[in-house]
A and B are shown apart, each in its own frame.
Chain A
């Protein structure tokens, strides 16, 4: 078996484990994706909810807060990610005391994905039927109950779908972060596959990323379908 694999993709077998190996790359990609999704997801969710409730017809309408949040989101969404990686260096150094490796990539990854996710959350939650919101107000519920029991519950199926979309785009960003020394499958594909003409590594890394994407997509779809009763 090993002989066969060595024959069709010698470089992959050689670089499978050990320092800077593909196995480590998978771990690093998963590490970056997980923490970015978790922290960026929470930040994005809070920001998205804040946008929905403070907008003109929101349950806590506040034009000043809305326009500030709206501008922050727009600015961060406008900075190309590769540039954000560089721009975020000082902040990264301050927060995680390193600018390289998967840990160093987390700060720019979160800065890049949270605003993106916030906008997705906002677009999803504004579609929750305003009549349902009104009926919850008529039942004597305050903003907290309405956010958690109505917005997040009614919006859940679409929220799951947009979250999947966001996670997939985060996986894409981790590969890009690899270009500036963050490690992960993207880094391996470029530094070992592309730059050293080891095509089998490029293919395997691509395949592995696709597998991660498909698993995320599949689980997301399954969950969304389960909670969707409309």
Chain B
């Protein structure tokens, strides 16, 4: 798909290959499609799927109980009106961002190394957004009326209150979900056709055929596909920045010390990409191992992701520093108290764990040895995931629990149902992901073939040029 002009990039990225040598078009296609069509799935798949499914059942139970009893089953109260639901929303939305960044921005920047991980990352985005999208609905007191947030012409002539960031959220997240879905699906079309063609089972052929929308691989198809992909990439690009910016406004537009800060949008976007890449690594490292995909998702990919994690992680740390600095510099006693309370108050252990996860641990990524050691990377990416969840915990809880009037100060802690819903959302994510791995080629076959062609052509051209000389 990416045509030409990539020599300089590939030249600089020579150290480790993007595709291990010894592959052909056929071997790559076979390897990718066989995972779905013929190869038995490893036991690990079944374990993860069943774990995910059980957690999903737990979530269904928790949600059912929530609908029957009311939101009081959670740990929220006055003053802490938002709890796990909002933390989880922000966390999941953030995780999704890596997928969009990989598929859209890296595409536009001609980063070839994205090819073997973009399908996977996009799927992750989609599922993360699905998880995220649940929470705003669940967290309302009357979820059956949540459509009030959507601008529709009702008979009372009532509209949402457009000054509220929560309304912007509705737009941002729904746009994000639709563009992500579209982008992912459009990118999937040629591979769905491949699956249709390779499937032995008639049922599978029909299903894949339906979803392939009659793809025949004609030059016109390819041309239109490429245009559509680029357009969608262009559409998705601003979303990488805008969605989390809008989410951050949920906080920044309020007057609560610890929320009301202009640094929030960039800080949140960086945090999102940071968490997202960590999540991609968390998922890719074991799956690559289980399905023997080391040839396509090479150490080079992993290392590049580690680098981005480090870079965005440092931006996030800068955000922490700036928050503390601005609290002091503002001379606002409420801000100063908030910062002091965060660092030395009852939630100080959470704060310092967060600083450890996001500030200290990632410094290991400066070292190539760490970046190329998948086991350590896996550990670090898990820690980053935890760190980012704690970051949202700190932002949501410590800002609210002690705000302006000390008489109203309170404490917050999640209940069993909070944890059940959170773990359940992880269950939903894992279930969807495992189904994706099971039924859809998790690596973009056609893009990989294109990359192979590009890489090999340039070598051949060089050889023929030499010969000519």
Whether chain B is bound by chain A comes out as: no
Give A residues with C-beta under 8 Å from B: none
Give B residues with C-beta under 8 Å from A: none
